[in-house]
Amino acid sequence: MARVGLPSASHANPVLPARSRPVDEADLANVPWLGRLDATEQERVRADMRVVQVAAGELVCRVGRPVTYWFGVIDGLLKMSNDSALGMPITFTGVPPGGWFGEGTVLKNEPYRYNIQALRKSRVAGISAGTFHWLLDRSIAFNRFVMMQLNERLGQFIAAREIDRLNDPDQRVARSLAALFHPLLYPGVGQLLRITQQELGYLVGLSRQRVNEALNSLQTAGVIRVEYGGVRVLDLEALRRYGASH
């Protein structure tokens, strides 16, 4: 889990709900689980879902706040971290487009144990906790999606613990990048992740300069290609295994 040098997060913005708007068709096209629902369920989701633009540095969720929504990233990049006020800041994971998060917190109806902060201007959607539980009570397909999320998230956090113990910066960047290209958790990413070297540094816990060196090494190895404004994965399996035989 990466220790990052991002400035301290601002307080969760209490006017985010007031700034939100109803979901539109363009937003819904980027909700990966919507097509699993029947017509009645989709109608409820359309009526309930809200979308909000958050600025870089704004908090979507804050440690200790009560859970009210299940959130997903339509566009942008978020990071999940601990509360830096309690000690060394630790980033658990990044959340790129297509990622939905916090289902465990909604299921247990407990206060947030982590912060979710925007690394850049982002568009975030959410359905109320009430609708989330209504779908669980009604839809087998939705239950399967949530179970998949929980299972894949567990694997992701186990991998994050392993990444945190890696001493090779190139391996850290490779494994962290591979996690952001997870096809089930983040189906909106595809093969090209829009991310800057500074943002990747925040997630991995390395300087922008060291991230640049690692990306050059990965590009030379033929597993990624650095493009304007982002990184394209050329061989996801090789990216996940990078350094194992180095």
The rounded distance, in Å, linking the Cα atoms of 211 and 231 is 12
Average pLDDT of the residues in 232-241: 92
Long-range contacts of 24-30 (CB under 8 A, 24+ apart): 24/51, 27/51, 27/74, 27/123, 27/125, 30/74, 30/75, 30/97, 30/98, 30/188
Closest CA to 8 of 81, 65, 74: 81
| Domains located in the chain, CATH noted | 2-156 (2.60.120.10), 168-241 (1.10.10.10)
Higher pLDDT: 171 or 13? It is: 171
Please provide the average confidence, as pLDDT, over all residues in the chain. Answer: 87
Average pLDDT of the residues in 84-106: 82
Average pLDDT of the residues in 147-161: 81
Average pLDDT of the residues in 123-145: 97
CB of 160 closer than 8 Å to CB of 91: no
Q: What's residue 1's pLDDT?
A: 38
User: Which pLDDT band, with edges at 50, 70 and 90, does 154 fall under?
Assistant: confident
Q: What's residue 3's pLDDT?
A: 37
53-67, 117-131, 150-164, 210-224: the lowest-pLDDT one: 150-164
Q: What is the pLDDT of residues 66-81, one digit of tens each?
A: 999 999 999 999 998 8
By percentage, how much of the chain surpasses pLDDT 70? 86
The rounded distance, in Å, linking the Cα atoms of 25 and 31 is 10
User: Which pLDDT band, with edges at 50, 70 and 90, does 9 fall under?
Assistant: very low
H or E element at residue 161:
helix 140-164
Q: What is the pTM of this model?
A: 0.83
Average pLDDT of the residues in 7-16: 49
Residue 214, pLDDT above cutoff 70: yes
Residue 34, pLDDT above cutoff 80: yes
